[in-house]
């Protein structure tokens, strides 16, 4: 398919910065998948923790122990799973809804489309954190409401961008030509619009993951996540509640914080690199 071909050609043009970012994301993914092989449930038990609380880094616990006495290394590695799961599934929701809404709004005309764009604006105005707080309050706490909240508030940006690009493509004579050849909506969307919009979607997806990871950590830090599930945000929240900041227990605060920053940066850089490779949107001049 033409969209795939364009993406493959672009992949060859990704620069060194982008390759580093992709490697970092790959490392996170490997860690998240391999985590159950390296860490047993006993390592993460808050009740039967392997060590004493608040131990500084040592040979046994290279990153020290957290407020319950668990190894910070194990906690941080395990936290990757939640961050990536929530980040990627929220992005899937946001990009899926956004791309479909954007293409539909760009391709079709009429009253329904106008309504759709108003709905988009309405969601655009909705604050993520407040919606998430409400959803977690109404539903049971866990990853589901967080994914839903991030997904529901991130799709309008994608929808707007995709709609704009769709309008640009459809104004071009080659779409007229396809219509004269007899093409229906589905053919125009699949063979002409999608190929032109795909790069934009990839860039947007990569940037959305980074935002979603940050939002997930923020929500957990604010206590809107399931406290039993080990994640970077909850670890930070528990550390703050236990007074780690004033006690100077930096080893509890630093690993999850750094993990969030590096993962967020990696996805942002990856998105920018694809953008540069495809020359879509405002890329940076060298």
Partner 1 sequence: MRPGGAAGATGGAVGTPLNLLEVRGLTVTYLTQTAPLPTLDKVDLDVATGECVGLFGESGAGKTTLALALLRLLPRTATVSGSVHLDGVDVTNTTWGRLRALRWKAASIVFQGATQALNPVQRVGGQIEEPILLHERSSGTIARSRAAALLRQVGLPPAAAGAYPHELSGGERQRALIAMALACDPRLVVADEPTTALDTVRQAQILDLITGLVTGHGRAMLLISHDLRLLSSTCDRIAVMHAGRIVEEGTPAEVCAGGRHPQTRALLTAHTRIRALRHRHRPRPPSPAGHVGVPVLAADDLVVIHPARRGRNVRAVDGVRLDLAAGEIVAVVGESGCGKTTLARALVGMHPPTGGEIRVDGVPLRPTGPWLRAHRRRVQLVLQDPGSALDPRHTVYDAVAEGLRIHRLRPPGGEPAAVAAALVRAGLQAPETFFGRYPQELSGGLRQRVVIAGALILQPRVLIADEPVSSLDAAARADVLTLLLDLRDRSGLAALVISHDLELAWSIADRVAVMYLGRIIEVGPAQQVLGSPAHPYTAALLAAMPQPFTPLAATLDGEPPRTSSLPGGCRFHPRCPVLLTGTADAAGIGHACRTVEPEPLPAVGPAVACHYAAAEHRS
Q: Which residues bind partner 1 (CB under 8 A)?
A: 2-3, 5-6, 172-174, 176-184, 187, 191-192, 195-196
- Write down the least CB distance from residue 128 to partner 1, Å: 34
**Would you say 179 or 240 has its CB closer to partner 1?**
179
- Write down the least CB distance from residue 173 to partner 1, Å: 5
Write the CB contacts of 175 (distance below 8 Å, at least 6 apart in sequence): 169, 188, 192
User: SS3 for 106?
Assistant: helix
- Write down the least CB distance from residue 110 to partner 1, Å: 15
Give dist(CA 137, CA 131) in Å, integer.
Answer: 10
- Write down the least CB distance from residue 45 to partner 1, Å: 54
Place of tokens 């190894």: 71
**Maximum distance among all Cα pairs of the chain, rounded to whole angstroms:** 75
**Would you say 191 or 240 has its CB closer to partner 1?**
191
User: SS3 for 118?
Assistant: helix
**Would you say 196 or 274 has its CB closer to partner 1?**
196
E strands, 11-146, where? Answer: none
Give dist(CA 41, CA 252) in Å, integer.
Answer: 20
**Would you say 93 or 197 has its CB closer to partner 1?**
197
């Amino acid at each position: 398919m033409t969209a795939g071909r364009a993406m493959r050609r672009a992949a060859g043009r990704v620069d060194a910065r982008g390759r580093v970012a992709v490697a970092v994301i790959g490392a996170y993914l490997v860690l998240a998948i391999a985590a159950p092989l390296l860490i047993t449930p006993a390592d993460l038990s808050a009740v039967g923790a392997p060590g004493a609380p608040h131990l500084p880094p040592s040979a046994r616990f290279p990153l020290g122990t957290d407020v319950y006495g668990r190894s910070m290394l194990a906690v941080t590695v395990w936290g990757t799973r939640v961050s990536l799961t929530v980040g990627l599934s929220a992005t899937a929701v946001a990009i899926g809804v956004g791309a479909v809404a954007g293409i539909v709004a760009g391709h079709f005309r009429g009253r329904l489309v106008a309504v759709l764009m108003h709905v988009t604006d309405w969601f655009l105005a909705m604050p993520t954190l407040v919606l998430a707080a409400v959803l977690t309050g109404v539903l049971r706490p866990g990853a589901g409401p967080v994914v839903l909240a991030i997904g529901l508030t991130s799709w309008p940006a994608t929808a707007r961008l995709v709609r704009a690009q769709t309008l640009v493509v459809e104004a071009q004579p080659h779409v007229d030509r396809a219509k004269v050849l007899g093409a229906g909506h589905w053919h125009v969307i699949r063979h002409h619009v999608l190929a032109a919009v795909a790069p934009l979607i990839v860039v947007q997806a990569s940037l959305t993951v980074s935002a979603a990871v940050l939002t997930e950590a923020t929500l957990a830090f604010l206590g809107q996540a399931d406290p039993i599930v080990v994640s970077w945000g909850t670890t930070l929240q528990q550390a703050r509640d236990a007074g780690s900041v004033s006690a100077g227990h930096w080893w509890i605060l630093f690993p999850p914080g750094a993990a969030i920053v590096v993962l967020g940066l990696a996805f942002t850089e990856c998105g920018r690199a694809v953008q540069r490779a495809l020359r879509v949107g405002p890329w940076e001049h060298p």
